Structure 1
């Protein structure tokens, strides 16, 4: 039955943006052997502006969680673009969360929850996943968070 995840998106009031185009020599997603590998996604706010800054320096945990959620929204948009039907998502297998962090910032896991909780909200139990939450001193375009994903998918 098609459209279950689309219905869920509508129920939670989430409309997907246009998936972001690559900013370098790569593709947004590759489907291979039952898995969709999604390149790192950057956070855009409701105005379409990049969410920039460094956690623990000029941005707080709440901003980081919002940025991670925004990355999660873009991950779902990339899934939709690559798969055509979000009901093909069998499981979110793993998120790799990179947090632009000051040297004394240690709450990367809490920041990453912004995306993890979104995956569970959208996909239910299949949205529960393995995860890395890693500090980095800089990210492309100065963004606060970048997230990539591995998703198990059914045949289309």
Structure 2
């Protein structure tokens, strides 16, 4: 039986994918006390990067927001693997966003809103979080966006 958060994801038309395996020497998540930290997730779909390139060049702000949203879906898939049940989440503590972009691009925050808005849509007020968003010259596998997260759980 699906819990409250998974029911909310279904209402939003979101099915969590199988969590991606790490592509280097790290683990996908770490549990410490009442916190779970999820490693950065790129916009993977069906085993491939769905959104590649750079904001300010080959990727529009709207597409960047979609990429950030997909990154958060992948973060949530890792979170479910870590906790077994997303209803255990007590708070989205922090999201970090990395936006692959040209030096002239400055709408990083608007792109990251794709992930932040989804966190609030899924978790309600418990989804409101602290956040950092930075522009970077490149990301693994030419991904346009990468998102990491920290969550409090019971």
Superposed pair shares fold, TM > 0.5: yes
Moved more, 6-15 or 16-25: 6-15
Give a deviation string over 1:50-97, Cα, whole Å, max 9, x none.
021000011110110010000010011111111000001000000010
TM-score by length of 2: 0.95
Q: TM-score, normalised by structure 1?
A: 0.94
Q: Which residue of 1 aligns with 2:58?
A: 58
> Which consecutive aligned stretches of 4+ in structure 1 deviate over 4 angstroms post-superposition?
none
Where 1:124 maps in the other structure, the secondary structure is helix
SS at match of 2:78: helix
Q: Which blocks of at least 5 consecutive residues in structure 2 are unaligned?
A: none
| Aligned match of 2:10 | 10
How does 1:125-136 map onto structure 2 within 5 Å?
125-136=125-136
Question: Across the two proteins, how many residue pairs are aligned to each other?
Answer: 152
Is the counterpart of residue 36 in structure 1 residue 39 in structure 2? no
Deviations 1:23-71 (A, max 9, x none): 00110001111000000001024x5530210000111101100100000
Task: Tell me how far apart the structure 1 counterparts of residues 144 and 39 of structure 2 sit (CA, whole Å).
Answer: 16
Q: CA RMSD in A?
A: 1.1
Alignment of 1:91-110 (within 5 A): 91-110=91-110
**Aligned counterparts of 2:151 and 2:30: Cα–Cα separation in 1:** 10
2:48 matches 1:49: yes
Aligned mates of 1:128, 1:4 — CA distance in 2 = 17
Deviation string for 1:99-156 (max 9, x for gaps)? 00100000000000000011011111101101011000011111000111110111xx
Secondary structure, counterpart of 1:80 in structure 2? helix
Counterparts of residues 112-123 of structure 1 (less than 5 Å): 112-123=112-123
CA distance in 2, matches of 1:102, 1:139: 12
